[in-house]
């Protein structure tokens, strides 16, 4: 299968080259040339398949020309070696817990899948690949963990100083080996801008082979559809129309869910739940897309003012606003709304939501106000311990710290402070 640039469909390449390049030469995001629905009996009998079998069937058409079946099965086995439980919260409301992986965030799936693909592709290659990535929180830790020790791959992670949680920072600054953390004096949008500029800087790309591990990379983005399919396997027996509410920052996760729907997964609606960074909710109201500088919130992984992947969502629906509205709702919530939801759910059920999951819960409840006879699943995208100060301040309790987190807490932070694109360029061009 070919992948083409959304900006210019005549620019086409293979899955392998799309993964290694990260972004198309014209700055466009890569998109698969076709999405062929899976047979109807796959969804009718989905309970009979293991998670690894479901993932293999879902991703196969996109990668099979570049990755043989046995290698793909091994990549999936290495990616999906933890659980994806669906936990009932109240009637017609459940959460899909995506934090049981090594860095306790949903990005473990995409980061590990991409790392395994890049490791497979780099065997026998003479030139190392440098993974350059911006993070607003969890991407950095997931990418660092997924790529740690992968031969032929070095990783440079940019994160906004003082705008990620202490645990998130520890997860991306303490690993060493082939992982370098760049602490940027600025916002996530500044980090993302620097990364995009580097990809287009011939002085760097003539010297280094760069790729991105943000959800702009097809190998990070597409495998996120796996856990929507796992959740459907659970929800199918409920006998109600299914809706997903996804806490949304860069919009890769919800877009991957929409690809799962395009593969044939029954789903009535996707709900993009955001914090006060409400570019998409406003677009869904008035059809005008107006990027804005990001604002800092307690759900910091969603502090994105110009979400990269929303262009993929629009492309998936041929930029037909009426058609998009049939599949997507979007709501925005304040920090006060988020804390109130965390408190209410804990008081009623003892379930501890992280602030991102709480935004997802709020979006689902708002949608169900007008569609009460739906079965809703909101995504709990990170373990609450990763936002310890918010959870402690909101709920007056401290979640038990899991072993995945304990092992990084005592380690020394090592980061390179930078304040401009020139600082990043100098670092990338220097021999380390």
- The verdict on whether 57 is a catalytic residue reads no
Which one of the listed residues 16, 107, 163, 196 is annotated catalytic? 107
Using H for helix, E for strand and C for coil, what is the string for the chain? Answer: CEEEECCCCCCEEEHHHHHHHCCCCCCCCEEECCCCCCCHHHHHCHHHCCHHHHHHHHHHHHHCCCCCHHHHHHHHHHHCCCCCCEEEEECCEEEEECCCCCCCECHHHHHHHHHHHHHHHHCCCCCCEEEEEECCCHHHHHHHHHHCCCCCEEEEEEEECCCCCHHHHHHHHCCCCCEEEEEECCCHHHHHHHHHHHHCCHHHHCCCEEECCCCCCHHHHHHHHHHHHHHHHHHHHHCCEEEEEEECCCCHHHHHHHHHHHCCCCCCEEEEEECCCCHHHHHHHHCCCCCCCCCCCCCHHHCCCCCCCHHHHHHHCCCCHHHHHHHEEEEECCHHHHHHHHHHHHHHHCCCCCHHHHHHHHHHHHHHHHCCCEEEEEEECECHHHHHHHHHHHHCCCCCCCHHHHHHHCCCCCCEEECCHHHHHHHHHCCC
What amino acid positions are annotated as catalytic residues? 107
């Amino acid at each position: 299968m070919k992948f083409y640039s959304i900006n210019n469909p005549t620019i086409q390449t293979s899955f392998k080259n799309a993964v290694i390049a990260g972004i198309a030469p014209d700055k466009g995001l890569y998109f698969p040339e076709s999405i062929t629905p899976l047979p109807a009996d796959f969804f009718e009998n989905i309970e009979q398949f293991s998670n690894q079998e479901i993932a293999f069937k879902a991703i196969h058409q996109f990668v099979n020309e570049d990755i043989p079946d046995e290698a793909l099965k091994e990549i999936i086995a290495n990616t999906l070696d933890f659980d994806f439980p669906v936990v009932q919260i109240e009637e017609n409301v459940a959460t899909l817990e995506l934090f049981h992986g090594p860095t306790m965030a949903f990005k473990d799936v995409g980061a590990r899948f991409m790392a395994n693909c890049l490791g497979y592709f780099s065997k026998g290659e003479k030139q190392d690949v440098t993974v350059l990535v911006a993070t607003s929180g969890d991407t950095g830790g997931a990418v660092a963990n997924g790529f740690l020790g992968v031969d032929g791959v070095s990783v440079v992670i940019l994160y906004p100083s003082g705008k990620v949680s202490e645990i998130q920072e520890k997860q991306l600054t303490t690993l060493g080996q082939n992982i370098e953390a760049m602490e940027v004096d600025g916002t996530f949008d500044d980090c993302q801008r620097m990364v995009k500029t580097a990809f287009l800087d011939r002085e760097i790309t003539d010297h280094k082979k760069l790729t991105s591990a943000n959800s702009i990379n097809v190998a990070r983005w597409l495998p996120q559809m796996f856990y929507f399919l796992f959740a459907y396997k659970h929800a199918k027996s409920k006998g109600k129309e299914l809706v997903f509410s996804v806490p949304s920052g860069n919009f890769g996760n919800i877009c991957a869910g929409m690809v799962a729907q395009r593969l044939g997964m029954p789903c009535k609606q996707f709900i993009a739940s955001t914090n006060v960074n409400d570019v998409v909710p406003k677009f869904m109201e008035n059809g005008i897309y107006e990027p804005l500088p990001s604002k800092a919130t307690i759900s910091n992984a969603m502090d994105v003012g110009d979400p990269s992947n929303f262009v993929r969502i629009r492309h998936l629906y041929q930029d037909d606003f009426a058609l998009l509205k049939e599949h997507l709702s979007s709501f925005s919530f304040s920090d006060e709304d988020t804390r109130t939801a965390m408190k209410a759910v804990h008081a009623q059920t003892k379930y501890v939501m992280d602030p991102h999951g709480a935004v997802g819960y709020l979006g689902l409840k708002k949608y169900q106000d007008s569609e009460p006879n739906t079965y809703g699943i909101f995504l709990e995208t990170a373990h609450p311990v990763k936002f310890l100060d918010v959870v402690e301040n909101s709920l007056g309790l401290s979640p038990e710290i899991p072993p995945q987190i304990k092992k990084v807490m005592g380690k020394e932070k090592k980061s390179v402070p930078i304040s401009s694109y020139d600082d990043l360029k100098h670092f990338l061009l220097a021999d380390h």
